[in-house]
Structures are given as structure tokens and as C-alpha cells.
């Protein structure tokens, strides 16, 4: 028996999916209004609305409110992965040691690739994260969010979306679940800053092997800082 013909809304879903996957609709781009989509696709607004709901459930589009709101192609993000990792951690199936082990494997290679591939814009973003951290420390604030921003910017510079999403997720898991109350000592904070500056210099100079080695040492120092913080808690 022949399979059923796809419903109109399913055809619209397939049409929009292809446009996203082929790059004709870019991340962050706003979709046309329902009325225009219905006209362009020769479908009812009911079918268009159902298709948009399906695309939203699949994580391909998101709704934004307000006068400039509407349906937008969703940016790739790490939240689903963070939720899964957080669940594993809370169930006792993922430990801090395993998180650090994963960072040891991934982040030195991210630094290596970033040093090979970083653009001038990437270097500027990394520099901004380092300088914002300095300003935060000088004002007596907590610089951790800029540490996260540095690592995320570095993973973006590596030009591999798999590395980027995994790195973002690992950093978010550490910050939000594994060690949310971490407060670095002044000495540990200075060491983080120095390591980030050395990585930045290696990336800016496109010294890939050097960037990898500095990052590997930095991950070990981060682990030692976490151990000291846990011991003093």
C-alpha cells in the first residue's frame, strides 16, 4: 500500500528545513510573516501556523516577542547539551574529574585550531574578553563570566561547530552546576589572566603548537584551583 501523501504543513516544514540546511535562511534571520508565507507557499495560514509550531518544537526556529518580534531561525546553542550533562551530573553519572578529563582532550585542540584559523575579528573578540576581565578585577567584581567568554570566543575561532557547542556546554556545566560558587583566590585569578593572555598572544601570532601547550597547562591549573576551592569550602 502506498504511503500517505504528506500534509500541507509537513511540506512547509520540509521547505523551511531545506532553506535552513542549505544556508538560504541564516541563523538569526527573521522569517516572513505568516500572511506572506501563506501567499508565497500557496497554503492556508492554518497550515503555515502548524508548520511554524513544528519547526519551533524541533528547535529550528524561535518566537521573539515585541514590536520587532516574530519567528527567527534559531542560533545553534548548547542548552540542550547542558541540560543533559547537568542531569547526568546530578544523577551521579558524571563527575567533576570526568568534566576536566573532557576539557583536557578538547580544549587544547580547540586552541590549536583557533591559532590556525582565527581572523582579525576573532582576535579582537578574545582581546576584549581579556581586557573586560582586567576591568572587572580592578573594580572588585567577579571576572568568571569573562573567563567563560574567552573560552567560548576561542572555540568559535576554531571554526568547528562541534567543538564550539561542546566547549560551550562544558564551560556552562562547570559554571552553573559543578562549581557555581567558585571564587578564585587573587593568585589563582592572576594565573588565569596570565594564561589567557599567553593563549591570546599565541593565537594572534598563529602559533598553533604553542597555543595547544599553553591551554593544556591552563586546564591543569584550573583543576588545581577547583581542588583548592573545594578543600577550603
pLDDT (mean) for 11-38: 88
- pLDDT surpassing 90 at residue 2: no
Question: Any idea which of 79-83, 215-219, 226-230 has the lowest mean pLDDT?
Answer: 226-230
Task: Return the residue matching grid coordinates 500541507.
Answer: 8
User: What's the chain's average pLDDT?
Assistant: 88
Which is more confidently placed, 176 or 98? Answer: 98
Q: What percent of the chain has pLDDT over 90?
A: 49
Give the model's pLDDT for residue 143: 86
* Cα 43 from Cα 15, distance rounded (Å): 12
Asked whether the predicted pLDDT for residue 145 surpasses 90, the reply is no
pLDDT beyond 80 at 77 = no
- 8-73 and 79-232, same CATH topology: no
Contacts of 107 (CB under 8 A, 6+ apart): 151, 154, 155, 167, 215, 219
The pair phi, psi for residue 63, each rounded to 5°, is -100, 135
Please name which of 19, 10, 15, 20 lies closest in space to residue 53, comparing C-alpha atoms. 10
* pLDDT score of 45 more than 90: yes
Q: Where are the domains of the chain?
A: 8-73, 79-232
Residue 123 CB: number of other CB atoms within 10 A?
19
Q: Which CATH architecture has domain 8-73?
A: Orthogonal Bundle (1.10)
pLDDT of residue 1: 43
More confident site: 59 or 56: 56
Taken in order 208, 154, 201, 198, is the CA torsion positive or negative?
negative
What is the spatial distance between Cα 233 and Cα 221, in angstroms, rounded to a whole number? 18
Q: Of 132, 204, 121, which is closest to residue 156 (Cα–Cα)?
A: 121
- Beta bridge partner(s), residue 61: 73
Which residues contact residue 102 at a Cβ distance below 8 angstroms, ignoring those fewer than 6 apart? 166, 170
In 10 A of CB 105, how many CB atoms?
A: 10
30: helix, coil or strand? strand
- Model pTM score: 0.69
Q: Which CATH number fits domain 79-232: 3.90.1150.10, 1.20.120.530, 3.40.50.920, 2.40.50.100?
A: 1.20.120.530
pLDDT score at 233: 61
Amino acid at each position: 500500500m502506498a504511503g500517505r501523501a504528506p500534509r500541507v504543513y509537513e511540506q512547509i516544514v520540509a521547505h523551511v528545513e531545506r532553506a535552513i540546511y542549505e544556508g538560504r535562511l541564516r541563523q538569526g534571520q527573521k522569517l516572513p510573516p505568516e500572511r506572506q508565507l501563506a501567499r508565497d507557499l500557496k497554503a492556508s495560514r492554518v497550515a503555515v501556523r502548524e508548520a511554524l509550531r513544528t519547526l519551533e518544537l524541533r528547535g529550528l526556529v524561535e518566537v521573539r516577542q515585541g514590536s520587532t518580534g516574530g519567528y527567527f531561525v534559531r542560533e545553534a546553542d548548547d542548552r540542550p547539551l547542558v541540560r543533559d550533562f547537568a542531569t547526568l551530573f546530578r544523577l551521579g553519572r558524571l563527575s567533576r574529574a570526568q568534566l576536566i578529563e573532557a576539557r583536557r582532550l578538547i580544549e587544547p585542540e580547540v586552541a590549536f585550531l583557533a591559532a590556525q584559523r582565527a581572523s582579525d575579528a576573532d582576535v579582537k573578540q578574545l582581546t576584549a574578553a581579556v581586557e573586560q576581565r582586567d576591568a572587572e578585577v580592578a573594580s572588585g567584581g567577579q571576572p568568571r563570566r569573562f573567563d567563560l567568554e574567552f573560552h567560548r570566543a576561542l572555540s568559535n575561532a576554531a571554526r568547528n561547530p562541534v567543538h564550539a557547542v561542546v566547549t560551550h556546554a562544558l564551560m556552562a556545566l562547570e559554571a552553573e552546576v559543578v562549581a557555581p560558587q567558585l571564587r578564585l583566590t587573587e593568585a589563582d585569578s592572576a594565573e588565569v589572566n596570565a594564561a589567557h593572555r599567553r593563549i591570546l598572544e599565541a593565537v594572534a601570532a598563529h602559533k598553533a603548537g604553542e597555543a595547544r601547550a599553553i591551554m593544556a597547562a591552563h586546564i591543569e591549573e584550573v583543576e588545581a584551583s577547583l581542588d583548592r576551592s573545594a578543600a577550603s569550602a
